Amino acid sequence: MIGRLFGFRGGVKPDAHKNESAGAAIERAPLPRRLVVPLRQSTRATARCIVQPGQKVLKGERIGEPEGYLGTAVHAPTSGTVVDFGRYTMAHASGLETRCVVIEPDGEDRWIEHAPFDHREATRSDALAWLRECGIVGLGGATFPAHVKLGKGAGIETLILNGAECEPWITCDDRLMRERAADIIAGAQILRELIGARALVVGIEDNKPEAIDAMRAAAASQAEVSVVPVPALYPAGGEKQLIRVLTGIEIPYGKLGADFGVQCFNVGTAHAVYRAIAHGEPLVSRIVTLTGNVERPGNWEVLIGTPIDELLQLARPRPDTDRFLMGGPMMGFALPRLDVPVVKGSNCVISASPALFPPAPPEQPCIRCGECARHCPAELQPFELYWFSRAKNFGKAQEYHLFDCIECGCCAYVCPSHIPLVDYYRFSKSEIWARERDKSAADQARERFEFRNYRQEREKEEKAAKLAAKAAETRAKLASDEAAPESAAPPPAAEDPKKALIAAALARAQAQKAAAQPKNTDNLSPETQAEIEAIEARRQSGGNPSVGDLPAGNAAGSATTAASSSASDSHP
């Protein structure tokens, strides 16, 4: 199928150090005292906790519900009791915390009821939903969701299975291909059917002859499947580099392999897909390489959430170990602490010592020798990216295709000035992402503010319209009411609606007053009735009463007051 191999520009050939851990068979790691299962398995998505402390769970039971399109479910790695749900340090160079579910194993390792999933009888959308519910993500390190990467089921001509494993020291994929080649090929065929690819190509570096033989034996009876050894050159396992080597297709800046009819999956992902479809098992464990300055290097099948400090006891690090690296020496990072858990993207833990990994020499000024550019497999200009990143000129860094950098570390490996170039690139990327998040938050706040103003204006207009309609209705009603007094006649049509409403309210009050009847007026004496009538007559007349109209007591008082006033007026 593959007539010839192609090459890619750049790359380096560091010491492989594969033999230290590749010779021993995969072992199953024992159950730890507790499992700390992060609900954020990658930087792209997280899951929502659906269990409570004190709840009993079984192996494979869902404890995290996926959130968002990129989210996948999270499951209990073993049976036990949920003892806590809180924030714990994650396996990341930042040392930041994330939400985790802490499970105390009961030692029984009891599975939930699970059965195979017939993807041939189910629809494609149901099969993708099943993979999402099983928590299947890319196990090559990026942990990208498999149900998203499978795309629309059309437009892919070639499916590439990545077994290159070019990073030094790491051998987990090598041992997996040696021991479980048939399951990997079966899982790859499932991926091939779901993505609609015509051909399947397995690319393996030529420094893994046992894995190549095992995969060829498993694929011997399969049509349109080929296992191709590729030259051992770091980073031949990069997606774009492997596509270039196997097909000759060069993926340009800003594009993906799927845009050119090619898609890549890791061999570990194919194995996890097979377990999910053929056995109905969610992804609750993975193969991890323990190597470096240890007495017993090897590969172990480890439950997700196992603390690194308990896992390292299996390899027995030597006393002169000074730090521990998660991942390989080229793209890995130093662990901030050892109680962090294993996640789905954890493929290797290296015990480092001054003898194996001497301290880096002090950083010196860039001499613009161009070695970084000559060895960059992405064909970028690392020295320009370095200067712009150091100057915090992030716009220019993006113009030089900063986000096409795969952070392989080739530039830093060959730099004679010992500049940690990848650290500068990671800093720039994180700053750009942070600014984009801030801009997005500001845009959302502005949209909410503008919508609030729009809503207030709309409500004001609606209120004015209702007020005008009600005023018109009132004017029409007052015009047709023959009993209304002339003083309460409705205002002209051009009058203010508020004045019309006020006039209508006054008219209603007068009508209510006229219709009101006095209370407690039954069985009155003639004297009281006569006094009430006199008072009412005075109120109607609107004038002051005369002395003759007042009762006797009031008349005498009025006369005395008048005499006093006359006497006082006769004296100065």
By residue range, what is the domain housing residue 395?
Answer: 360-477
Does 59 reside within a domain?
yes
Same domain, 338 and 372: no
**Residue 549 and residue 535: Cα distance in Å, rounded?**
10
Same domain, 274 and 327: yes
For the cut 50, the answer to whether the pLDDT of residue 516 exceeds it is yes
Report the mean per-residue pLDDT for the chain: 88
Per the structure, the count of domains in the chain is 2
pLDDT on residue 566: 42
Q: Which residue has the higher pLDDT, 531 or 428?
A: 428
Share of the chain above pLDDT 70, in %: 90
Same domain, 100 and 183: yes
For the cut 50, the answer to whether the pLDDT of residue 554 exceeds it is no
Same domain, 405 and 473: yes
Does 3 reside within a domain?
no
* Mean pLDDT computed over 343-355: 94
Residue 360 has which token pair? 């880096």
Count of helix runs (H) and strand runs (E) in the chain: 17, 17
Q: Can you give the pTM of this predicted structure? A: 0.78
Residue 74 has which token pair? 């999270």
**Residue 181 and residue 214: Cα distance in Å, rounded?**
6
Same domain, 433 and 345: no
**Final residue of a domain: which of 477, 505, 536?**
477
**Final residue of a domain: which of 352, 384, 401?**
352
Same domain, 30 and 99: yes
Same domain, 345 and 415: no
**Residue 203 and residue 227: Cα distance in Å, rounded?**
6
Band the pLDDT of 532: cuts 50, 70, 90. Answer: confident
CATH number of the domain that 133 lies in? 3.40.50.11540
Does 133 reside within a domain?
yes
Does 389 reside within a domain?
yes
Q: 415: Cβ–Cβ under 8 A, 6 or more apart, which residues?
A: 371, 372, 421
* Mean pLDDT computed over 143-169: 92
Whether residue 235 has a cis bond before it, omega within 30° of 0 = yes
Cα torsion 329, 333, 336, 340 to 10°: value is -90
**Residue 224 and residue 160: Cα distance in Å, rounded?**
12
Same domain, 346 and 367: no
Q: Which residue has the higher pLDDT, 44 or 122?
A: 122
At 465, phi and psi to the nearest 5?
-65, -45
**Final residue of a domain: which of 352, 385, 416?**
352
Band the pLDDT of 508: cuts 50, 70, 90. Answer: confident
Same domain, 399 and 366: yes
CATH number of the domain that 444 lies in? 1.10.1060
Does 528 reside within a domain?
no
Same domain, 295 and 414: no
Q: What is the pLDDT of residues 87-113, one digit of tens each?
A: 999 888 888 899 999 999 999 999 999
Band the pLDDT of 65: cuts 50, 70, 90. Answer: very high
pLDDT on residue 519: 63
Does 543 reside within a domain?
no
Same domain, 316 and 461: no
Share of the chain above pLDDT 90, in %: 72
Same domain, 384 and 270: no
Does 234 reside within a domain?
yes
Q: Which residue has the higher pLDDT, 449 or 474?
A: 449
